[in-house]
Structure 1
Amino acid sequence: MTTDLSTCVMIERKALVKALERIVKLIPQRSLKPVLQGVRIEASQGRLWLAATDLETSLLMHLGADGELARCVVPARELLNRVKASRAPFCELHGDKNVLVVNGGGVEHRLNTLPVAEFPLIPQRAEGQVICVSAGPFREALGTALAGVAETSTRYAIHGVLLEVADGVRLVATDGRRMVGVELRGDAGEAGSCQAILPPKLCKLVRQVVDKNDESTLNLYVKAAVDTQDPEPPELYLAGAGWLAHCRGAEGNFPMWRDIVPRGGSRFMVSRSELLGVLREIAPAGSGGRGVRLRLAGESSTVTYRGPETGESTGRVRTRFMGGGDSLIVTGFNAAFVIEALATLPGDQVVIEVQQNKPSTHDSVSHLPALLYDWPSRKVSWVIMPISLGLPASPESLGSNYKATA
């Protein structure tokens, strides 16, 4: 049978496999609408276009290709499996009535198409205020921010990552027990400040589409809702090299995160790798959620887990006191939170900044949140809420806040 070259497209097979592998990450495994499990394909003017959506997020990609192909929709995972199984360097696609014919060499595959008219509309171009960032670093920043995202939104926690443009570009996320902030190198032009909450699904999609070492520019567009009486979240577009993602921002109001950041506390510098190693040895003992005791001191700090029945585990790390308050502070944290924070900080010098404990009721002490950041860049910072150790009031537990009683 002779193929009509006007409806045939030739494309490099490995490039198509890579694009389809990214596309299927967005497509749901199950859907009441079969067309949502499909990928829309068309080719013209030297490009093959692939589109997919789950009705909340869409992804449009294009690849270099020779030939033309009328728009059609085929099951995405089935197409990926067929193309991936081939060993030929190039893949040929052409339409035959209600079938997409895939020829990758010695085997010809015929995939039944889905109704094109039922495939949802997908934005073809971005709109709104644009913020330019470097793709690779933005991908890594999203990975760090996702570690602090809440599973559900509450008053003090948001299921999403705040993108903020104000005196720079940054990402912030919190689950109510910890908060992470990542400073980015970006250019918002003269458009002014803006905020949007990036849904986790969009963040994960970007991490799948962008390579770690990608040095290209990624453009983020924020299009605010027109109706100011009952405003909806803004529309978000992310445009990279050969792809465009779109969704609406997550609902909710992000907490006033600057009010949460501790200020004016004692500063202790430690080796990130050294503290991380000690915590990872001690953490299994404290995996029951009781947390660890951290005794921060001038030259050496102690990390301790005490089990009511299992005993005690203790480790020490070298410390440099950098001023700001008392040179001895005893506090407690969830070990898993500290480990996760340390794992995201760049470099090996880390500063732990925390205020001295305060007197509480019944002759006990109240611990305060700690700020952890890499030194000296402060590119990534974490605020971690403390856990109660049940310490009695004493000169060691309260330091300069201790007041002797009669």
Structure 2
Amino acid sequence: MKVICNRGALLEALLLAGSAVVTRTPKPVIQCVKLEAKDNELTVSATDMELSIRCRDSQVQVEAPGETLVMAERLSAIVRESIDDTLSIEVEGESATIKGQDSKFKLFTQPTDAFPPIPDYEGDADFTVSGGLIRSLINQTIFAAAKASTRYAFHGVMFNAKGKHLTLVSTDAHRLALARGELTGPVAGKEMLKAIVPVKALQIVEKLVSNPEDPVQFQLRENQIIAHTPSATLTSTLIEGQFPPYEDVIPKESNRKMTASRADLLSAVRRTALMATEESKGIRMAFSKSGLVISGSSHDAGEAVVNFPCKFDGDDLEIGFNPSYFIDVLKVVNADEVTLELSAFNRPAVLKAGPDFLYVIMPVQLP
């Protein structure tokens, strides 16, 4: 195998495929990337046995087709530190030689037949969504998935594709994020498709999208999801388990409503949170016709009070929230204005940003 590569494009492919590489494992083969050169294209593949990535680099000149398996970390470091615009990779016997204008590196290779098989993207998509939209939907939900929970289903994001619409939902039992978007066409062959996708896989799907106009095609197979773009394909196992009936969690009625600037509310909560601690458990929000007063205190540090002007309809209410849960959502919603619907001090609130995003947040009991 011999191929001449654009260094920047090769590095991009290696970094993306490297997202699936396991650095500590008793299986050296999954510390490697597989390089396949043919038809004027270099394919870079990696897997951790649960998640696989295949990146296609067309900015190459294939002088001799072939394939090889090399340590991902070493190859990425060589390409990253190189000062050349182009690099050549030539494989002979059990080693690969990487050459620049003034440098030459020799890496030992491993047998390619030891590399686990990676499923190909074949056939038609079950559903397709634009790259910019899927990146936005992931960004607006992934943060609310559980970091640690005995309920494994909470560690992922629920995909629900029905008709021409895609809904993503995540929860950690203290909050729930839901974002909707429109598919480029109806779901193929089935009335509805559901799957719980791991957070790690979705973080990489965000990276796959280099052009927001490019389509991202999805296929659901038994216990697997495949995401396919013009330059890369990701395959991931799905999370097994029962996702909660999230429709039942969303409050159907409220008798109080606040409307405010997203950026201004984010600033007010961040400033108040400077005095909130784990011990104090949260911040206090006091709603009235004159606006919102947000306060936080700490026995060790002191107290913060922020008077926040906003539109509020309904009776006065004092309620406590974890400030991090507000900060997380206000950083990612795509709206200049948000609404917060409330009913009682001990009932969940619903933050909405336009017709396609809502966020349920449970209150905390304050001292």
Distance in 1, matches of 2:302 and 2:92, equals 73
Is the CA contact 2:153–2:242 (under 8 Å) kept in the aligned structure 1? no
Report deviation, 1:330: 1.9
Choose which of 126, 132, 135 in structure 1 pairs with 2:131.
135
Distance 1:54 1:127, change over 3 A: farther
Q: 1:75 aligns with which of 71, 78, 86?
A: 71
- Residues 128 and 222 in structure 1, CA contact (< 8 A), matched pair in contact too: no
The offset of 1:310, in angstroms, is 5.5
Structure 1 residue 175 and structure 2 residue 164: aligned? no
Instruction: Give the 5 Å matches for 1:115-264.
Output: 115-126=111-122, 130-155=126-151, 158-166=154-162, 168-186=165-183, 187-191=185-189, 192-211=191-210, 214-223=212-221, 225=222, 234-264=223-253
Alpha carbons 1:333, 1:386 under 8 Å: kept: yes
Question: Which consecutive residues of structure 2, in runs of 5 or more, have no partner in the other structure?
Answer: none
Contact 1:127–1:221 (8 Å) recurs in 2: no
Question: Is contact 1:157–1:175 with CA below 8 Å preserved after alignment?
Answer: no
Distance 1:157 1:242, change over 3 A: closer
Gaps of 5+ in 1: 1-6, 226-233, 358-366, 391-406
1:272-309 per-position Cα deviation (integer Å, ceiling 9, x unaligned) = 22221121111021122521111122341111224457
Query: Residue 32 of structure 1: SS of its match in structure 2?
Result: coil
Q: From the superposition, tell whether residues 156 and 349 of structure 1 become closer, same or farther in structure 2 (CA, over 3 Å).
A: farther
Structure number with greater Rg is: 1
Provide the residue aligned with 2:336 in structure 1: 348
2:356 pairs with 352, 361, 379, which one? 379
Report the equivalent of 1:389: 366
Which residue matches 2:93? 97
Conserved 8 A contact 2:152-2:239:
no
- The 8 Å contact of residues 142 and 157 in structure 2, kept in 1 or not, is answered as yes
> Following TM superposition, by how much is the alpha carbon of 1:210 offset from its aligned partner in structure 2, in angstroms?
2.5
Structure-2 separation of matches of 1:331 and 1:156: 30
TM-score, normalised by the number of residues in structure 1: 0.83
Tell me the CA shift for residue 40 of structure 1.
0.6
Aligned equivalent of 1:286: 276
Post-superposition CA distance 1:346-389 (Å, at most 9, x none): 222110001134xxxxxxxxx10000011xx2332210001123
Contact 1:269–1:350, Cα closer than 8 Å, also in 2: yes
Q: Which residue among 320, 324, 327 is the counterpart of 1:339?
A: 327
* Deviation, structure 1 residue 156: 9.5
Residues 196-255 of structure 1 deviation map (CA, whole Å, 9 limit, x = unaligned)? 0111110122223323x53211011112x3xxxxxxxx3100001211110111111110
| Alignment check: 8 A CA contact 2:153 2:239 kept | no
Q: Aligned equivalents of 1:373 and 1:243: distance in 2?
A: 34
2:36 paired residue number: 42
Distance 1:306 1:17, change over 3 A: closer
Structure 2 Cα separation of the partners of residues 386 and 328 of structure 1: 16
Residue 137 of structure 1 deviates from its aligned partner by 2.8
**Identical pairs, percent:** 26
Give the match's secondary structure for 2:155.
coil
2:2–2:91 Cα contact (<8 Å) kept: yes
Q: CA deviation at 1:174?
A: 0.3
Structure 1 vs Structure 2 CA RMSD: 2.0
Distance 1:311 1:13 in 2: 54
C-alpha deviations, 1:173-201, integer Å up to 9, x for none?
Answer: 00010111111222334432111011111
Give, in angstroms, the shift of residue 145 of structure 1: 1.5
Q: Does the CA contact (< 8 Å) of 2:44 and 2:56 recur in 1?
A: yes
